[in-house]
Structure 1
Amino acid sequence: MLHAFGHVCLSNKCSQAPKTASFTRKGSQNHNRLSDRECLYATATDEMSSPPVNNCSEIKPHSTSSLTTAESPAIAIAAVMSPDMTKRSYNSDLNPKFSTNSPELMFDSPLTSVQSIPSPNSAPLEWYDLLAEDAINNIDKYNLNLDLDPAGLSRRQSPVPEAEITGLYIHTPDERQGIVAPSHEQWNSPDNISLNESELLLLRHFVGVIGPILDLCDPSKQFSTTVPRLAVHNLGVLKSLLAVAARHQALVVEPHPYQTNSSAQTPGLNASDTNSLTNPYLQVATHYYYECLHYLSQNLLYPSYAKSREIIATALLISTYEMFDAEGKYSSGAWERHLRGIFWIQRAQNNNGECKDPLSRAAWWQWIRQDIWVAFREGRRVLTIWRPTRRLMDLNPDELCLRVVYICGRCVDFAANEKKYDINTRIEQGGKLLQALEDWQRILPSTFQPIYKVNQQESGDLFSPIWIHPPSFAAAMQTFHFARIIVLINQPSMGDINDFRVRQRFLDESVETICGIAIMDRGGEVPSAFVNFQALYAAGLCVQTPAKRSVILQLLESTLDIIKFPPKTLLNDLTNYWRAES
């Protein structure tokens, strides 16, 4: 589904208005007023509360970025419309005494109102119901020879106190005093689960390829290190890990007749079936996926399991499997539906982007990354209703990489196809988001600056290579420009020709940066490519010349060749968008 965005016009007589709001010269005198700025975020809560009173000290950025105050889009666009407001913004310069609202915390998410969220105890079961329903509906599609009763996937027992489950507690010398000690979790194995040769290969593929994709902005590398250790003690984590590894292998391995021997036979794939298969990894992946669901149906009755790190890891791995399995279709698909279920589990455990447990925190950020892409493509809001509590000045570089993901989610909210806001409100909301992006960029340390950058005039190319290292910092800059583009092309304007020219200048800058980083990464950095393709797609939405469109299409195609996700139908979506613009 092609996400529709508004046109960026270069004259004050725009013949084609954006879908979010129409261009008009009518409006109040404050039609493009930016909000005040804030450096202290709201009190930690999942509910939407009133903005906090600002009491932080004046912030001094680590360093100035290449985008100066005078060049910032939020201020420059406003400069052609409200000189007094621009002067105020120059003087404030991240000074908290000018702030009452945090720009990046403006929008709630009505799709996830408190009334629609299951209770903490029932959230994992509600999520599992979504999985089971879709799995049963698709059982004939995959023609699986399952060693389990498909109807059993829909059966579940109500959670019961763990003390009532036979064998969950063991006797101790303290029993005579009425004290019992819990044994190891019944849903975990005290010893390592044995792996056959094929499973070991899939585990190594996960650690070497998929883990780094999920760990791109996580210095603790939770999915490459912690999750595999959980997997060898928990069958649910293991089955979901093997499923996502095999599903990714199905994308990267050319279809061919499967050759195997009995010692390396993958469970779930009978030797008699292999001759007819064009891509055996797909069959294996599906089998592991169903085995994981069967495990969940048997173990969600343990209250401790429903609140464990293992179920969080399993849920995120299942979501990643469904991401690879989505085939570019999101609306009402398994991935789209089940992202909502993971949101329920995260809330039930009170997980968010600042929680103490590193695995839960890493899983939250990966979930929100996935939901941002689906929300962007579907024209809906991002599911989270969590808001950060830490100030930009208190974040280290790795945390700044994650903060821009959150801001990006709010920008996707702004681009959602909603009609309830008038044009003045839309202009103001867009200005606040541009201000939030500017605040983030201006506080970046010098380590986010390019190590290598070719002068475009000297190179003679449409786009010149830009190398930012480490890759997580490059990904953050890609995310920043992705977010800025989708705000600029969805924010209506009542300005004159100068306003449109300023917008186009900033769009051109973002396109050049996105394409420059993508050119430098074209060698095959798989984790970075998962951010590149999203940024390239957004860049393609705002270029006008055939030459630049051709380069972007080539870069996007080469990126999709590297990651094999999403399918190349994304190229068709972009070319169809251009065709509609002609």
Structure 2
Amino acid sequence: MPVQPTGAHKPRNRKPRPSRARGLRTTTGCLTCRKRRIKCDESKPRCGPCVKSDKECDYASAASTAEEYVLGEHSTPHQRTPSATSTSASFKSPATRRSIGEDIDSQVLANSPELRFDLSPLTLTTSLPSPNSAPFDWYDLLAEDAINNIRKHNLGGFDEICLSRRQSPVPGTPEIDTGLIDPQIQARAQSPVAETPPIAPWNADERISLTNDELTLFQYYVNVVGPILDLFDPLRHFAIVVPRLAIFNVGLLKSLLAVAARHRALHSTTPLAESSPIVQTPGSNVAGQTEASGSNPFSHIATQYYYETLQYLGRNLFYPSYSRSSEIIATTILISTYEMFDSEGSYSDGAWERHLRGVFWIQRSQDNNGESRDGIRRAVWWAWVRQDIWVAFRESRRTLTIWRPTKRLMDLTPDELATRIVYIAARCVDFAANEKHYEMGRRIEQGERLLQALDDWHRALPQSFEPIYAPPPPDSDLFSPIWIHPPSYAAAIQMFHFARIVVLINQPSMGGTNAFRQRQRLLDESVSHICGIAMMHQGQNLPSAFVNFQALYAAGLCVQSPIRQTAVLQLLAKTLEIAHFPSKTLLEDLTNSRRNEM
């Protein structure tokens, strides 16, 4: 095949494109001006714009520029439109997503704000437990709070001695001790030792049998609770994989039943006489407690299963293979989810918020993150980050994760793009924490980096994230409904606007009237999109509700119009009626927050 001479090559089947000299891709100028998307006069050692704005001025070497251009090390489009930060911005179709790099600045990856966020000092301290001790320290945290609750609330039917890990042998001792192994696998421990030891001696050989009532809760978990955790997971690990693991592992099964019963308690107003039969387990004293108190029976059932899960952990954590297994990873997030649903309960005392750090210890000890090859570990990590975002946001503390993504935006699938915004939102909440005290210039710069990361993500979205239904906004201050399908993509757009609001209301500004108007325009835009999506995702869409209430709460913090304030509160009230989490005191908190600003 003849080789075309240099300069004779023409793009095939594409429209003529402007030359590099006309602004398609900038390969000159300092890195700071490229990042800020402003014209650079290329003065050295510092260009005019950097001198004027008192910013560092760095130039890339010719070799590194050429190398990065050849390798395609870039992650964001270079060209922008005036509405690039709006969800009405143009989207690239799936067919053209893989060629997105053709319009990307070759220097962006090295300075990508998305991949270079500051890490939380909360998680970089030397006091973190070692990888081998992380599961034990997490369990000790759970057991200590459980024992305190038993004593404080005089909970009958729970033996606090069984929760003490001191009954378990220290790691490294023989794995077979019939006095400490769960009864479901005790028979195996008493049998002659096989030539090849079992891979998972803490699992049952056969499927664990379920009573009719347990099967009802099991199905409730699969149909209701699992999808809440699977909102951003197209493979549905919590609804499909976790139940299959649970029928062979007593601890995971009990934690699954505990979270199902606890969620059922949130949604159940049925009197005791009309409710379904109470789930009885060995040693359970639930029936007597329920009859005495007359309260929701599912709450007591959930508490029973929760304590039985802790007893299982205390007996089986000494297995080194178990402390590194997928089963314990899944158990940790189900326990955390149980505590999330129970966070407004009388026995909570802030346990969920404290125990999230223990889940982080185990995640870190196993090197789990949002790009883990093992699907269940990856799914658990994202579910944990979603919980940590809400707690960190409400407590004004920094988020716990120390992981940074490695995949470029241009290499992500649409589903992966949906989960990536969860990570960026975590960094935005981290930015808003009261614990961070930086001088104003640095604070403004950090906010700009976050807004840049959000903008980069938004402009990388394919057409599948565009609304299917989005009528023009009305002339009044009321919101126009926006329907995006599938729900995970709608939730991703919600998270985008939630994160943008968090940054904008926490970033200092040294600008004048124009900067104020621009910021207010972005805030109003985000409020409109959050409320528009929430209007279309009402009904009984529980998974969406667990994103809607967070976004609506953030929208309520910055909305200005009295009519819109009332509309946001009404939408939030409807969402809380669907989710039954968190408590309706969230409405009071938002109302009081607005009053304090007046």
Normalised to the residue count of structure 1, the TM-score between the two structures is: 0.82
Alignment map for 1:388-467 (pairs within 5 Å): 388-457=405-474, 460=476, 462-467=478-483
Change (3 A) 1:55 1:141: farther
Residue 262 of structure 1: how far off its partner (Å) = 7.4
> For 2:276 and 2:547, how far apart are their aligned partners in 1?
39
> For 2:499 and 2:103, how far apart are their aligned partners in 1?
21
> For 1:210 and 1:247, how far apart are their aligned partners in 2?
10
Deviations 1:153-186 (A, max 9, x none): 12333543375536499655xxxxxxx4222522
Larger Rg: 2
| The one of 138, 155, 160 aligned to 1:150 | 160
Q: Which residue of 1 is the match for residue 503 of structure 2?
A: 487
Q: Which residue of 1 is the match for residue 138 of structure 2?
A: 127
**Residue type of the partner of 1:108?**
L
Q: Which residue of 1 is the match for residue 401 of structure 2?
A: 384
> For 2:355 and 2:218, how far apart are their aligned partners in 1?
24
| The one of 318, 343, 346 aligned to 2:335 | 318
Residue 190 of structure 1: how far off its partner (Å) = 1.1
Residue 327 of structure 1: how far off its partner (Å) = 1.3
Change (3 A) 1:340 1:576: same
> For 2:346 and 2:217, how far apart are their aligned partners in 1?
26
| The one of 96, 113, 127 aligned to 1:103 | 113
Deviations 1:245-285 (A, max 9, x none): 11111100115224578796566355444433221111111
> For 2:427 and 2:265, how far apart are their aligned partners in 1?
34
CA contact 2:77–2:104 (8 Å) conserved in 1: no
> For 1:431 and 1:31, how far apart are their aligned partners in 2?
15
Q: Which residue of 1 is the match for residue 205 of structure 2?
A: 190
1:277 maps onto 2:294 in alignment: yes
Identify the range of structure 1 (347-356 vs 159-168) with the bigger mean alpha-carbon deviation: 159-168
**Residue type of the partner of 1:112?**
T
Deviations 1:69-125 (A, max 9, x none): 333469xxxxxxxxxxxxxxxxx9741225532202321110011412211110000
**Residue type of the partner of 1:101?**
N
Change (3 A) 1:272 1:73: closer
Residue 330 of structure 1: how far off its partner (Å) = 13
> For 1:454 and 1:567, how far apart are their aligned partners in 2?
33
> For 2:461 and 2:236, how far apart are their aligned partners in 1?
23
Q: How many pairs are equivalent?
A: 514
Alignment map for 1:563-582 (pairs within 5 Å): 563-582=579-598
Alignment map for 1:338-353 (pairs within 5 Å): 338-353=355-370
**Residue type of the partner of 1:204?**
Q
RMSD, aligned α-carbons: 3.1
| The one of 223, 231, 244 aligned to 2:238 | 223
CA contact 1:72–1:438 (8 Å) conserved in 2: yes
**Residue type of the partner of 1:69?**
T
Alignment map for 1:255-334 (pairs within 5 Å): 256-259=271-274, 265=280, 268-275=284-291, 276-327=293-344, 333-334=350-351
CA contact 2:479–2:528 (8 Å) conserved in 1: yes
> For 2:71 and 2:521, how far apart are their aligned partners in 1?
34
Change (3 A) 1:418 1:94: farther
> For 1:415 and 1:199, how far apart are their aligned partners in 2?
43
Q: Secondary structure at the match of 2:537?
A: helix
Q: Which residue of 1 is the match for residue 546 of structure 2?
A: 530
Q: Which residue of 2 is the match for residue 115 of structure 1?
A: 126
CA contact 1:170–1:183 (8 Å) conserved in 2: no
CA contact 1:408–1:480 (8 Å) conserved in 2: yes
CA contact 1:36–1:101 (8 Å) conserved in 2: no
Residue 143 of structure 1: how far off its partner (Å) = 4.2
> For 1:325 and 1:110, how far apart are their aligned partners in 2?
29
CA contact 1:169–1:182 (8 Å) conserved in 2: no
Change (3 A) 1:543 1:205: same
Change (3 A) 1:495 1:265: same
1:358 maps onto 2:375 in alignment: yes
Residue 548 of structure 1: how far off its partner (Å) = 0.5
Change (3 A) 1:327 1:171: closer
| The one of 154, 157, 161 aligned to 2:172 | 161
> For 1:472 and 1:262, how far apart are their aligned partners in 2?
36
Which blocks of at least 5 consecutive residues in structure 2 are unaligned?
1-50, 61-66, 87-101, 178-188
Deviations 1:474-521 (A, max 9, x none): 000000000000001111011010000000001110000000000011
Change (3 A) 1:60 1:307: closer
> For 1:358 and 1:278, how far apart are their aligned partners in 2?
39
Change (3 A) 1:580 1:29: farther
**Residue type of the partner of 1:445?**
P
> For 2:58 and 2:592, how far apart are their aligned partners in 1?
37
Residue 62 of structure 1: how far off its partner (Å) = 9.6
Residue 149 of structure 1: how far off its partner (Å) = 2.6
Change (3 A) 1:337 1:191: same
Normalised to the residue count of structure 2, the TM-score between the two structures is: 0.80
> For 2:239 and 2:59, how far apart are their aligned partners in 1?
42
> For 2:155 and 2:212, how far apart are their aligned partners in 1?
22
Residue 231 of structure 1: how far off its partner (Å) = 1.0
Q: Secondary structure at the match of 1:220?
A: coil
CA contact 2:68–2:107 (8 Å) conserved in 1: no
| The one of 16, 39, 53 aligned to 1:30 | 53
Q: Which residue of 1 is the match for residue 269 of structure 2?
A: 254
Identify the range of structure 1 (193-202 vs 306-315) with the bigger mean alpha-carbon deviation: 193-202
Residue 241 of structure 1: how far off its partner (Å) = 0.6
1:70 maps onto 2:82 in alignment: yes
Change (3 A) 1:29 1:332: farther
**Residue type of the partner of 1:551?**
A
Q: Secondary structure at the match of 1:70?
A: coil
CA contact 2:329–2:377 (8 Å) conserved in 1: yes
Q: Secondary structure at the match of 1:457?
A: coil
Residue 565 of structure 1: how far off its partner (Å) = 0.2
CA contact 1:63–1:445 (8 Å) conserved in 2: no
Deviations 1:323-376 (A, max 9, x none): 011119999711111100010101111110001110010000000100010001
| The one of 498, 501, 514 aligned to 2:514 | 498
Change (3 A) 1:31 1:453: farther
Residue 421 of structure 1: how far off its partner (Å) = 0.5
1:139 maps onto 2:154 in alignment: no
Q: Which residue of 2 is the match for residue 212 of structure 1?
A: 227
Q: Secondary structure at the match of 2:401?
A: coil
Residue 151 of structure 1: how far off its partner (Å) = 2.1
